[in-house]
């Protein structure tokens, strides 16, 4: 569909490199170890003494406008692939 996939994780860069190599990932994975980007998106929560990122998915148009977002505070609840595919198709229009 012409999208670029970018994953952002709160892990350290060394851990990200290890994850990419282990899983053979072919998309960009960026480290946000200090959660600066996560905070800018407003998807961080406090768990005891730690700040943790909330899993989220964004579909962004070439104009930089967010066309779709999915944020769920329970990290075990993930976005259904069919919903993401429909959002990606709709975002191309």
Render pLDDT for 28-57 as a digit per residue (tens, 0 to 9).
999 999 999 999 999 998 889 988 899 999
Where in the sequence is the domain holding 78, given as residue range(s)? Answer: 6-91
- The predicted model scores a pTM of 0.79
Give CA torsion, residues 76, 79, 82, 87, to 10 deg: 180
Count of alpha carbons within 13 Å of 63, Cβ hemisphere only? 6
Output the CA–CA distances (angstroms, integers) from residue 18 to 31, 64, 79, in the order listed: 12, 30, 25
Evaluate whether residue 1 is within a structural domain.
no
Evaluate whether residue 16 is within a structural domain.
yes
Evaluate whether residue 13 is within a structural domain.
yes
pLDDT of residue 93: 65
């Amino acid at each position: 569909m012409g999208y670029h996939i970018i994953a952002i994780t709160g892990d350290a860069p060394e851990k990200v490199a290890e994850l990419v190599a282990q899983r053979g990932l072919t998309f960009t994975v960026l480290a946000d170890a200090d959660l600066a980007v996560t905070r800018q998106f407003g998807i961080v929560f406090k768990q005891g003494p730690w700040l943790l990122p909330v899993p989220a998915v964004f579909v962004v148009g070439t104009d930089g406008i967010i066309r779709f977002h999915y944020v769920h505070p329970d990290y075990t609840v993930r976005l259904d692939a069919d919903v993401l595919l429909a959002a990606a198709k709709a975002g191309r229009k």
